Amino acid sequence: MRNLLLTLRYDGTNFHGWQKQNNADSVQARVEDAFHSVSGKNENVLGCSRTDAGVHANMFCCNVRTDCNIPAEKIPDALNFYLPNSISVYSCREVGFDFHARYNAKGKEYVYLIYNGKYRNPFYENKALYYSYSLDVDLLNENAKDFVGVHDFSAFCSADSSVQDKVREIYECKAERDGDIVKITVKGNGFLYNMVRIMVGTLLDIQNGKIENGSIAQILESRDRSRAGVTVKPDGLYLNKVIY
């Protein structure tokens, strides 16, 4: 038996997230089916995160414990033969048998893309949030820095979450503009359900005046979900990097 670490990227538009489900298509199910086609083994592929429906990944890590003897360097090509074009494995290597893609991760980086042009761009459909109003990147950054540090993120978590401990550390939160694209990067040691999407929604609500400028610290302290902003669409969210 050996433990293989797979790294892949995917367009999540037509998937109900990573996690395998009974009545919906998922990335995990497609990867497990491809692995079975390659090796003849029914293996459980363990993911580093549970991405939501419609969320994308530039770097998603998963591991599989198997007695498949195909050389690691040949597995990406073998899997990609059976995977849809929306999923691509680009790395495979052997790791220690106790390694777990989720529990060994020390942090993650997410990117949220906003298409900030006057008119819709069909090439960013399902790949970025369309926001036609003016965006002040300096204002976004001024408020984004208040997310950095160790905080209780109860106000920035879906009410459906059953997680008890909502304390997380954010290492970096910033906004950058490249033409009509505004990119918001959030890096931290862990994330709650819908956390990044609510953080971005809060920054946009500050931009449009629905939430008071400079109030993120107070919203965090309140732990009150109703005081934070909207949960923006999943289209613009990418798991960008997993840190081990």
pLDDT in tens, 160-197: 777 889 999 999 999 999 999 999 999 999 999 999 99
Residue 161 has a pLDDT of 78
How far the first Cα of the chain sits from its last, in Å, is 23
How high is the mean pLDDT of the chain? 96
Alpha-helical regions (H) of 13-129: 27-39, 75-82
- Confidence band for 82, pLDDT divided at 50, 70 and 90: very high
pLDDT in tens, 94-145: 999 999 999 999 999 999 999 999 999 999 999 999 999 999 999 999 999 9
Looking at the chain, the whole-number percentage of residues with pLDDT higher than 90 is: 94
User: CA nearest 175: which of 225, 112, 221?
Assistant: 112
Q: From the CB of residue 214, how many other CB atoms can be counted at a distance below 10 Å?
A: 11
- Decide if 160 is catalytic: no
Residue 19 DSSP code: S
- What is the 3-class SS of 131-187, one letter each residue? CCCCCCHHHHHHHHHHHCEEEECHHHCCCCCCCCCCEEEEEEEEEEEECCEEEEEEE
Rg (CA), the chain: 19
Helix axes 195-207, 137-144, angle to 10 degrees: 130
Alpha-carbon distance of 4 to 75, in angstroms, equals 10
User: Where residue 159 falls among pLDDT bands split at 50, 70, 90?
Assistant: confident
Q: What is the DSSP letter of 100?
A: -
Looking at the predicted structure, is the pLDDT value of residue 41 above 90? no
CB-based contacts of 226: which residues, under 8 Å, 6+ apart? none
**Would you state the structure tokens that stand for residue 234, as one six-digit string?**
């999943």
Q: How many CA atoms lie within 13 A of 25 on its CB side?
A: 11
pTM: 0.94
Quote the pLDDT of residue 186: 98
- The active-site residue, picked from 11, 25, 33, 52, is 52
Q: Which residue has the tokens 């990119």?
A: 183
Q: Write down all domains in the chain, each with its CATH number in brackets.
A: 2-95 (3.30.70.580), 108-243 (3.30.70.660)
Closest CA to 195 of 147, 139, 135: 147
